[in-house]
Amino acid sequence: MQTIAQPSPPKAAGPAPEAPLDETADSAPDTAALMADAFSRHIEYALVAQQTRQQEAQIKLDQMKTEFNDSEQERAELIREMNALRDMALEQAKKDDEVLKKYIAMI
């Protein structure tokens, strides 16, 4: 039996395949890692800034609460004093009425 030789596949036309990269050559820094680090720093700064704003807002809110409580305490004290003065005035008016009735009875 006679064997027939198989034809070899045609070679691709175009540039020759490139040689593998030299492992010892200096490579550029890993851009993705640098971008990730910069992004994480940016996010960290943003979070710190947000926490600072929240703390400042909380401080302002606490100051407003304190001022409100102080003014309400002062108002309550003034109302107590007015009530005490009114009660004293009513007692004095009752005593004045009694004195007037006794004076009228003497006439």
Give alpha helix (H) positions in the chain: 31-106
How high is the pLDDT of residue 5?
Answer: 54
What the block records as the tokens of 58 is 């909380």
pTM over 0.85: no
Tens of pLDDT, residues 41-92: 999 999 999 999 999 999 999 999 999 999 999 999 999 999 999 999 999 9
CA distance 82 to 77: 9
CA distance 2 to 75: 120
The secondary structure of residue 8, as a DSSP letter, is: P
The secondary structure of residue 61, as a DSSP letter, is: H
Q: What is the mean pLDDT of the chain?
A: 84
DSSP 3-state assignment of 73?
Answer: helix
